[in-house]
Structure 1
Amino acid sequence: MLLRLPTSLSEAREHLAGQAVPVGGATLVWAQWQRDGFPELAMSLRHLPEANVLEPEALGAAVLLHRIDDRVPEVLRRAAGTIGTGAVRRAATVGGNIVGSTLRCLLPAALVLDARATVLDRDGTYETDLAEVVAKRHLLLNLSWRTPVISGYYKAPAEAGGPPPLVVATALSAEPDGRHRLRTAVRDGYEVMSGSAECRTGADGTDEVLDALAATGLGSLPPAARDIVRREVTGLLRRLDGR
């Protein structure tokens, strides 16, 4: 297998046109390649500047999970810190987790940040939403978002090798019109769903927010999962009141 390491977007586009297979840390595909055969040509974005940003409002697809720190919002940092083992986090990348993994541990966190994705194809780069990235398995360059007022993350305890644990991500954002919106995303099994509600800051708005979230797709969650969503949303708004 020949591995290309582009240092510019034009180089990366050329390698895509040459049928190079994009890879991140290869933590998910290595066993498959050993079984089915390695591709003739692969491409890693590890040397591409646009894929290596790590800033308060941007995160590159080639960033290794163990590098994600307090420069990014709490929800994203905590999500990255719970993925696999330390060895996995030192090899796995943001793009590989969101696009290449069936678990997509970072996806709920990115959804509640209302993150936008910049992707690359043979024609160049463009911005799109996460739903399209996941559905079409685009080559992700980076994510960007606006810093939330506050955020939170919960991942249920689970045994290694067992079913995917429940994940609940939450974030409260100030909208351009001055209002606040609370976004919640849940991974239940392999399915990720999300919902949002306008939010009045202060404890007296908690029930309204919960009722509004229940009217979204989150209302179809099993009772136990809905209870955890209620707990996480309530806890987030209490933390906000205590700031």
Structure 2
Amino acid sequence: MLLRLPTSVSEAQRCLTEGAIPVGGATLVWAGWQRDGFPEQAVSLREVPEANVLGAEELGAAVLLHQVDERVPEVLRRAAAGIGTGAVRRTATVGGNIVGSTLRCLLPAAVVLGARALVLTPEGPVGTDLAELLAKQPLLLSLHWRTPVASGYRKLPEAAGGPPPYVVASAVHAPEGTRPLLRVAVREGYEVISETTPCDTDTDTDTDAVLEALDGTTLGSLPVQVREVVHEQVTEVLGRAGAR
């Protein structure tokens, strides 16, 4: 197998048109290739600058999970830190987790951040939303979002041999001139459900109203212990947002 390492978006685009298969960190595809056979050529984005961005409002697809640090919002940082073992996080990439993984541990965090994706198409880089990214699975270059006022993340304990653990993520956004907005996302099995509600961050009464509103959505059908975690996290995140 020929591994191609382009150093620009245009070169990566050429690799794709010539049939190279995206490899990411290879943590997910390697076993399949060993079983089914290796492709003639693969392409890695680890030398492409646009796929290695890491900042307050951007995260590249080629960034390794262990490199995701305090430059990104708390919800995304904690999500990355909770994936697999240290050895896995030193080889797995952001793009591989979101596009190539069935668990998509970073997805709830990306959802509550309202992230959009920059992807590479035959026509060049284009922006798209997360729904289209997951449906069409183009080559992801990077994620971009607006910095939230506060955010939170929690992965519930995993039962041995059971389904994937529940993940709860939340973030408060306060666009200038508008009422703050709370986004909550929960991974249930292999799916992510999410809800959005307006909120204020300066009264306990509003926190109660927000929790009641969330209970009236699809989140209200979650198991009791998961709803309790949602309530705890939303209360804490709204409290931190109001203290700023």
Do they fold alike, i.e. is TM over 0.5? yes
Does residue 1:44 correspond to 2:38, yes or no?
no
Does residue 1:227 correspond to 2:228, yes or no?
yes
1:130 maps to which residue? 130
**Deviates most, 48-57 or 169-178:** 169-178
Does residue 1:13 correspond to 2:18, yes or no?
no
Quote how far apart the aligned CAs of 1:39 are: 0.8
Q: How large is the RMSD of aligned CA atoms in angstroms?
A: 1.4
The residue type paired with residue 43 of structure 1 is: V
Partner SS, residue 31 of structure 1: helix
2:214 maps to which residue? 213
Work out the CA distance in 2 between the residues paired with 1:160 and 1:147: 36
Q: Is the 8 A contact 1:16 1:121 kept in 2?
A: no
1:237 maps to which residue? 238
Quote how far apart the aligned CAs of 1:136 are: 1.2
Does residue 1:147 correspond to 2:147, yes or no?
yes
Partner SS, residue 16 of structure 1: helix
Partner SS, residue 193 of structure 1: strand
**Deviates most, 151-160 or 113-122:** 151-160
Work out the CA distance in 2 between the residues paired with 1:126 and 1:66: 27
1:71 maps to which residue? 71
Quote how far apart the aligned CAs of 1:239 are: 3.0
The residue type paired with residue 211 of structure 1 is: E
Does residue 1:100 correspond to 2:100, yes or no?
yes
Closer, same or farther: CA 161–71 of 1 in aligned 2, 3 Å = farther
Work out the CA distance in 2 between the residues paired with 1:83 and 1:165: 12
**Deviates most, 133-142 or 159-168:** 159-168
Partner SS, residue 142 of structure 2: strand
Quote how far apart the aligned CAs of 1:220 are: 3.0
Work out the CA distance in 1 between the residues paired with 2:54 and 2:138: 20
Work out the CA distance in 1 between the residues paired with 2:10 and 2:149: 37
**Deviates most, 1-10 or 231-240:** 231-240
Work out the CA distance in 1 between the residues paired with 2:154 and 2:12: 36
Deviations 1:49-82 (A, max 9, x none): 0000001110000000000000000000000000
Deviations 1:151-174 (A, max 9, x none): 111111225664211100010011
Work out the CA distance in 2 between the residues paired with 1:186 and 1:57: 22
Q: Is the 8 A contact 2:172 2:241 kept in 1?
A: no
TM-score, normalised to structure 2, is 0.95
Work out the percentage of aligned pairs sharing the same amino acid: 66
Q: Is the 8 A contact 1:170 1:233 kept in 2?
A: yes
Partner SS, residue 92 of structure 1: coil
Work out the CA distance in 1 between the residues paired with 2:108 and 2:223: 18
Partner SS, residue 210 of structure 2: helix
**Deviates most, 169-178 or 8-17:** 169-178
**Deviates most, 200-209 or 118-127:** 200-209
Work out the CA distance in 2 between the residues paired with 1:205 and 1:95: 37
1:53 maps to which residue? 53
Aligned residues: 243
- Unaligned runs of 5+ residues in structure 2 are none
The residue type paired with residue 200 of structure 1 is: D
Quote how far apart the aligned CAs of 1:242 are: 4.5
- Unaligned runs of 5+ residues in structure 1 are none
Work out the CA distance in 2 between the residues paired with 1:28 and 1:73: 26
The residue type paired with residue 86 of structure 2 is: G
TM-score, normalised to structure 1, is 0.95
Work out the CA distance in 1 between the residues paired with 2:221 and 2:138: 29
Quote how far apart the aligned CAs of 1:212 are: 2.3
